[in-house]
Amino acid sequence: LISSPTRPGLHIIHIAAEMAPVAKVGGLGDVVSGLSKSLQKRGHFVEVVLPKYDCMQYDRIRDLRALDVMVESYFAGRLFKNKIWVGTVEGLPVYLIEPHHPENFFWRGQFYGEHDDFKRFSFFSRAALELLLQAGKKPDIIHCHDWQTAFVAPLYWDLYAPKGLNSARICFTCHNFEYQGTAPASELASCGLDVHQLNRPDRMQDNSAHDRVNPVKGGIVFSNIVTTVSPTYAQEVRTAEGGRGLHSTLNSHSKKFIGILNGIDTDAWNPATDTFLKVQYTANDLQGKAENKEAMRRLLQLSSADIKKPLVGCITRLVPQKGVHLIRHAIYRTLELGGQFILLGSSPVPHIQREFEGIANHFQNHDHIRLILKYDEFLSHSIYAASDMFIIPSIFEPCGLTQMIAMRFGSIPIARKTGGLNDSVFDIDDDTIPLEFRNGFTFLTPDEQGVNNALERAFNLYKNNPDIWKQFVQKDMNIDFSWDSSAAHYEELYSKSVARARAAIQT
């Protein structure tokens, strides 16, 4: 196995279920690679451990090779061999774990949504720690993410620190408290955790079903640092309405809990260098943006009769959290207001997917509306570049990346004031916000009137004050949404936690 070089910075290992661009379902994938790259740039040694999914984008992994040694890990009373692959993704060393388990945990053609996800990811969490132990790693920080790898926290303290993998502090980031991965308590035993010890109200027992365990709760209770992805969301989840049953747990552990706004990967999302685009452009040369809009219209066979017609974009997972009924409403309202609308989205929820297929078919040959119901990296970049406005009417939004990406591409966000949207989109007409921070249109009440109000104000400004609009576009494109300041924040949390641990050992 590959050993870790000694360096002055921290040694940080992320254990995660996603990493962009090789295994991305949503924002989690972007965060794992964006944060890691930024920490690496700041002089830290960062590695990532992922499952080896069959459906990864293998063409984006450099120098992929299998190690000679297998790592054996425990599950459900037996030891299973894991083949370990190493490679480089976005300049970061990555380990991929391929379990030799008869149930082919990561050979399913999709990342999540399998009937045995609890099993798949508790297996992976344990195998990842086993890899670190057997490789002789001495990380300062093990950073796990969401319920899929939250198992790492109790596994580390209960099993792996006693075995000698004891150099690390554990950081757990919850990217969305809606997904908690609860399961019957007995299922926890498979990965070797002690159900009797852990199925207790102050440990992993689910707060609303006492015969179930909750991995996210385990992540909160057993980690040294707990973060979520924006300051406003961190406040929201500490209330009974927003906490999805975990508000009391978060309040009991509030000292170690903090919200840090995600950044975006400004190399991957850069209109000046983006090779997916028809034409690259910058804030000082918006002709290129206009050409992308025209190219998009041609590609999707939308009307180009009026080049000034505003184009509204929306790129999203179509799940209730994202305000799907408001997205549907925004499509029709945009049409009434004389604009064009492009939706790129797909839904894991069959009835929502069907509903949007119905709308897509209805507008199949329409001059001004196009719905593309799939996941498509090329189209996403092209739509950010082509659109004038970008709508995000979320019911709740832990952080949200699309508003930041949209701004970087000069598309003005129209967003509901919730979670990370509230921390990154500031209304152009809000006199309580200093002028230099105002960058979009917001609404508070998640209903059709709220959407109408923000959309209409956007259309009015676009049509009546093109010069002011252009200034907003340029301003938004120049906002620094890079990971720099957020990574500095994580670095500070990590360092303080490591220092506290060292001080405790010395006393």
Query: Interface with ligand ADP by CB under 6 A: which residues?
Result: 26-27, 30, 315-317, 344-346, 375-377, 380, 399-402, 405
Nearer to ligand ADP, 86 or 372 (CB): 372
Nearer to ligand ADP, 84 or 344 (CB): 344
Distance of closest approach, residue 85 Cβ to ligand ADP, in angstroms: 25
Distance of closest approach, residue 400 Cβ to ligand ADP, in angstroms: 4
Nearer to ligand ADP, 137 or 381 (CB): 381
Nearer to ligand ADP, 36 or 402 (CB): 402
Do residues 411 and 422 make contact, with C-beta atoms less than 8 angstroms apart? no
CA 457 to chain centre: 30
Distance of closest approach, residue 29 Cβ to ligand ADP, in angstroms: 8
Do residues 149 and 181 make contact, with C-beta atoms less than 8 angstroms apart? no
Q: Which residue is nearest to ligand ADP (CB)?
A: 27
Do residues 260 and 227 make contact, with C-beta atoms less than 8 angstroms apart? yes
Distance of closest approach, residue 407 Cβ to ligand ADP, in angstroms: 13
Distance of alpha carbon 414 from alpha carbon 435, whole angstroms = 17
Other C-beta atoms within 10 Å of 488: how many? Answer: 14
Nearer to ligand ADP, 51 or 398 (CB): 398
Nearer to ligand ADP, 263 or 400 (CB): 400
Distance of closest approach, residue 348 Cβ to ligand ADP, in angstroms: 11
Distance of alpha carbon 199 from alpha carbon 50, whole angstroms = 27
Distance of closest approach, residue 343 Cβ to ligand ADP, in angstroms: 9
Nearer to ligand ADP, 29 or 93 (CB): 29
Q: Burial, 479: exposed, middle or buried (Cβ in 10 Å; 0-12, 13-18, 19+)?
A: middle
CA atoms within 13 A on the CB side of 87: 21
Distance of closest approach, residue 445 Cβ to ligand ADP, in angstroms: 21
For residue 342, CA distances in Å to 358, 422, 429 come to 15, 24, 26
User: What b/e readout covers 41-68, taking b as 16+ CB neighbours within 10 angstroms?
Assistant: ebebbbbbbbbbbeebeeeebeeeeeee
Phi, then psi, of 135 in degrees rounded to 5: -80, -5
Longest CA–CA span in the chain (Å) reads: 75
